[in-house]
Structure formats: C-alpha cells, structure tokens
Structure 1
Amino acid sequence: MSEYVISAYGEALFKLMKKKNIDKITVDELCEEGGIGRATYFRNFKSKDEIITTYIIMKWREYEREHRLKEHQLNDSYRVRRYFDFCYSLRNKNDLIIGQGHHGAILSAYEIIMTDSDIGRSIDTYESSYLAYGLFGIFMKWARNGYAESVQDMTQIVIERIFAGNME
C-alpha cells in the first residue's frame, strides 16, 4: 500500500474526527474527504482503527529514517528522547484517538514498530512485547496527564527509572 493512500485516508480520518466521533464516520464520508474511492479503502483497510495504526507506523518509519534511530540502541537517551518527541509531535492526533476511545490502534502500531514486522525483520521476542506495552503505558499516562512533563523529563524518567539496569 502506498504512503499516498495511507496519508490521504489518515489525514481525512483525523479531519473528520475533529467534527464527530470516529464510530459515526462513514466510509463514504472518509472516501470523499480523502479523495480516494471505496474500492481502495476496502482493498487496503479492514477498519478505521487500521487506518490509524498504519498511519502512525508510516509516520514513525519516516521519523525513524530522518533521525537515523536504527543506529541507536533502544535504551540510548537519544532514541528515547526521539520517541517522546515523535509522540509529542502527534499530540493533537493522539488526543483525538484517546478521547474517542480508540487507543488500541496506537498500541497496535507500537507492537508492529517494536517487532519490525512491517519491514520484514520480525523480532517478535518477549523484550519487544515488553517494550511495546511498556512504552505504550508510559505514553498513555503522559498523554492523560496532559503532557505535563517535558520531553526531556520523560526521557530522564525512562532512562533512569525504567531502563536503568534492565536493558543491555
């Protein structure tokens, strides 16, 4: 599936979510807003949550390449900071997703990102699951607290309290 299709449906969905709950958005409305036909939607997605998940993964992979994150260990402060920068950059979209009760789509994205299953290098281990669920939990707490802590504060919390002695 092309980045154009993912982006078009993702941006259309978020625009519509600002106006009404995701559960009330029809496929016809989504296709009209995105400028892409119904057949393309049904060929590529099973649900609106899948659009969200795929959109987050696409955005993460772009960000990951731009910041050369694969060159850093998961517990490296640079990579941890970039993770929180990325989450904060999607703050408005994340708040819509969480506010409408579809945060499972975010967790699904994290599971795929942490295992690299979308790029053919699946590392489906206990550690990757631990990281996906752990980072999701930390992110959810941070988002629900209104992003009260800075990105730097969140980086420090994860490096000093969570990764200290737990990752090699």
Structure 2
Amino acid sequence: MSPHEVKEQKLTATFKALIKLLKSKRFEDISITELTRTAGVSRTYYYRNFKTLDDVISAYEMLRIIQYLRQLPNNPVKLTFETMMTHYFQLVADDADDQLTLIAAGKEQVIIKAFNTSYHYLQKDNVEQIDEYDYDFLSGAVVNVSIHWLKNGMVESAELMGKKIRQFL
C-alpha cells in the first residue's frame, strides 16, 4: 500500500470513529484519546494532521469529494454547474447517515466550509465560472438545501436536485 493510500485509510478510520462516537456522545465530550483508540491510529498521527476534530471532518469531506470526482468519466467537455450539483447530491445521498450524524451534532458550518473549499478547487478547470463573492452564498445555499433534502428522506432524485439548484441561481 502506498503512503498516500495509508494516509487516506487512516483519515477514513479517524472520521468513521468520530461518527461512531457522535452517535452516543456529544461532540464536546469526545476526547482525542478515545477517538484515536476507536480509530486504531496513534495520537501522534492525530496531532501531526489535525488541530481540531472539525479538521478531521473537513479533511474527510474533501477526500470524499475528490474520490467521487475521480470516479466520474474522464470527459474533455466541461462539466456543467447542474451536473456538478447532481453529483454533489448523489455524494450526499451515498453518505446520508454520516451527513445526518454531523448535522445532528451541529457541524453544518464544517460541511459548508468543505463544500466551499471543494468548489474552489473544482472551479479552476471543471465548472462554469462564478464571481468570487458568490462562493459563500453558493456553499451555504447548496448545503442548506441538501440538509433539508436529507431530513425529508431524499424523496427527489439527485438529478432533480441538481436542476433545482441551477434554477435557484
């Protein structure tokens, strides 16, 4: 296994341990020792890579988005905004239990920050350009709509949600 794969594996284990602990504890009551023990990683690993538990969430959310995008067909045509939003909603649906756990823990702002960072990353080459000041608006709007969609049981398809977000903007 490459060092990059080991790093991703440790991050995933740490995030999944955090989600597991959040199902029975308040976010504020989770200790680093308990998290690292549950994840099977060292405290040194944690402190070398993260300053806060929110950093674990942000790093994992970014990893998931990047992994998901790598699975998309390599198409020379630019992805449209609607297509990107459809893919985002599919990712949210795929991780619904984890997302709902984070929402219940009050970590919406961390999800919004990860979306914002990811969208900046994607903006460089793959999607239609938007004004710099629209990033925060877009991030908050999309994540808040995805939260509402999750809480309502994801009745609409990811494709329909992608269309709705495009229509809103």
TMscore range, shorter length: 0.7 to 0.9
User: Relative contact order, CA 8 A, sep 6+: which one is greater?
Assistant: 2
Secondary structure, aligned partner of 2:36: helix
Q: Which residue of 1 aligns with 2:141?
A: 134
Pairing partner for 1:45 from 38, 45, 50: 50
Counterpart AA for 1:72: K
- State whether residues 81 and 155 of structure 1, in contact with CA within 8 Å, keep that contact through their aligned partners in structure 2: yes
Find the counterpart in structure 1 of residue 168 from structure 2: 162
CA distance in 2, matches of 1:69, 1:104: 31
Could you tell me whether the CA contact under 8 Å between 1:114 and 1:129 is conserved in 2?
A: no
Contact 1:72-1:79 at 8 Å conserved across structures: no
Runs of 4+ more than 4 Å apart: 68-71
1:88 aligns with one of 71, 86, 93: 93
Cα drift, residue 73 of structure 1: 3.3
Give the direction of change, closer, same or farther, for the CA distance of 1:47–1:124 in structure 2 (3 Å limit): farther
Quote the offset at 1:156 in angstroms.
Answer: 2.6
Residues paired across the two proteins, number: 157
Using a 3 Å threshold, how does the CA distance of structure 1 residues 124 and 22 change in structure 2: closer, same or farther? farther
- What is the alpha-carbon root mean square deviation over aligned residues? 2.6
Q: Percent identity among equivalent residues?
A: 25
Residue by residue over 1:144-163, the C-alpha shift from the partner in whole angstroms, topping out at 9 and shown as x without a partner, is: 4343433233123123x224
The TM-score, its normalising length taken from structure 1, stands at: 0.80
The answer as to 2:12 corresponding to 1:21 is no
- Residue 127 of structure 2 aligns with which residue? none
Gap runs ≥5 in structure 1? 164-168
Which consecutive residues of structure 2, in runs of 5 or more, have no partner in the other structure?
A: 125-129
Contact 1:115 1:124 in 2 (8 A): no
TM-score by length of 2: 0.80
In the alignment, is the contact (CA less than 8 A) between 1:9 and 1:31 conserved in 2?
yes
Which residue in the other structure is 2:154 paired with?
Answer: 147
Partner amino acid for 1:86? Answer: L
Q: Is the 8 A contact 2:32 2:43 kept in 1?
A: yes
Q: Distance in 2 between matches of 1:124 and 1:50?
A: 27
8 Å Cα contact 1:45/1:51 also seen in 2: yes
Write the letter of the residue equivalent to 2:8.
E
Deviations 1:120-147 (A, max 9, x none): xxx9922433432331232233234343
C-alpha deviation, 1:95, in angstroms: 0.4
2:113 is matched with 108
Paired with 1:148 and 1:21, the residues of 2 have a C-alpha distance of 29
